[in-house]
């Protein structure tokens, strides 16, 4: 079952913040966040495994709610390099399994 | 040393032709995944290998799609009698983790993909 991502697209000015949400109808084993630029491979950002977990990577951070059904990605003080499409990939059951990706959130950061 | 590599990067095929797409995973990675990504969509799972064993092929859209990894390293995705709906980017990913292992380090590393266009 594909997770639902929102919003589908967001336009930011450099320095602004944004939140991207990823929701599942059932509890997940983990959530993986990736960023993909046009014509390039998806690049791994972070994994969240535990309910209530929060994790950060530079000025990009993420959280996983207690029920493990929703994750949010936070872009803080956005930079031009943050532009791209962000995907959440979800795992059910156990580690090492296939990822089921959301439809993506297109982020454009303007000067 | 690098990351996952895929070849060719671009492939144009006439409808009905067979194609073969190659994936070289990161050395030592036991798990290998193939995904299909349509324009503007997220990647969709096709098949999964653990070493040379194909453990999950539930995402292959038809029996025209076939994948192998005979020696547990390089993998080939073959599409027979290509159709226009096969046009997409085919992504390969590899991971250190075995299915079922409990670890935080089960990141999947993606290759750049092969863009297949069927005319």
Could you tell me if A5 and A105 are in contact, meaning their C-beta atoms sit under 8 angstroms apart?
yes
Strands B65-68 and B31-37 turn out to be: unpaired
Nearby residues of A108 by Cβ (< 8 Å), 6 or more positions away: A9, A10, A11, A12, A83
CATH number for B51: 2.60.40.10
Q: Does A42 touch chain B (CB under 8 A)?
A: yes
CATH number for A79: 2.60.40.10
| Residue-range definition of the domain harbouring residue B42 | 5-96
Could you tell me if B48 and B56 are in contact, meaning their C-beta atoms sit under 8 angstroms apart?
yes
Total tally of structural domains belonging to chain A = 1
| Residue-range definition of the domain harbouring residue A20 | 4-110
Q: What 3-state class would DSSP assign to B34?
A: strand
CB pairs under 8 A between A and B: 71
Answer yes or no: is B117 within a domain.
no
Each residue's pLDDT, cut to its tens digit, for chain B (119 residues) gives: 589 999 999 999 999 999 999 999 999 899 999 999 999 899 999 999 999 999 999 999 999 999 999 999 999 999 999 999 999 999 999 988 765 555 556 788 999 999 999 99
Total tally of structural domains belonging to chain B = 1
Q: How many CA atoms lie within 13 A of A37 on its CB side?
A: 6
Answer yes or no: is B18 within a domain.
yes
Per-residue confidence (pLDDT) for residue A95, from 0 to 100: 60
Interface subset of A 2-31, CB within 8 angstroms of B: 2, 30
Residues A2-43: tens digit of each pLDDT: 999 999 999 999 999 999 999 998 888 889 999 999 989 999
- Test mutation, A32, A42, A45, A101, chain B, max B CBs within 10 A: A42
Let me know the angle formed at the C-alpha of A51 by B41 and A108, rounded to the nearest 5 degrees: 35
């Amino acid at each position: 079952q594909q997770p639902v991502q929102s919003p589908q697209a967001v336009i930011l000015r450099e320095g602004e913040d944004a939140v991207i949400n990823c929701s599942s109808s059932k509890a997940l084993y983990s959530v993986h966040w990736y960023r993909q630029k046009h014509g390039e491979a998806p690049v791994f950002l972070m994994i969240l495994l535990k309910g209530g977990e929060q994790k950060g990577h530079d000025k990009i951070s993420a959280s996983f709610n207690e029920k493990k059904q929703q994750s949010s990605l936070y872009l803080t003080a956005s930079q031009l390099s943050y532009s791209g499409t962000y995907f959440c990939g979800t795992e059910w059951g156990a580690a090492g399994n296939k990822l089921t990706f959301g439809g993506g959130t297109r982020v454009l950061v303007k000067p | 040393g690098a990351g996952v590599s895929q070849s060719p990067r671009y492939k144009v095929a006439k409808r009905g032709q067979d194609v073969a797409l190659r994936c070289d995973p990161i050395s030592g990675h036991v798990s290998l995944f193939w995904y299909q990504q349509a324009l503007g969509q997220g990647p969709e799972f096709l098949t999964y290998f653990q070493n040379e064993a194909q453990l999950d092929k539930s995402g292959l859209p038809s029996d025209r799609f076939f994948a192998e990894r005979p020696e547990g390293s390089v993998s080939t995705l073959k599409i027979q009698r290509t159709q226009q709906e096969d046009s997409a980017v085919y992504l390969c990913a590899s991971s250190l983790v075995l299915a079922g292992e409990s670890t935080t380090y089960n990141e999947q590393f993606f290759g750049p993909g092969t863009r297949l266009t069927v005319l």
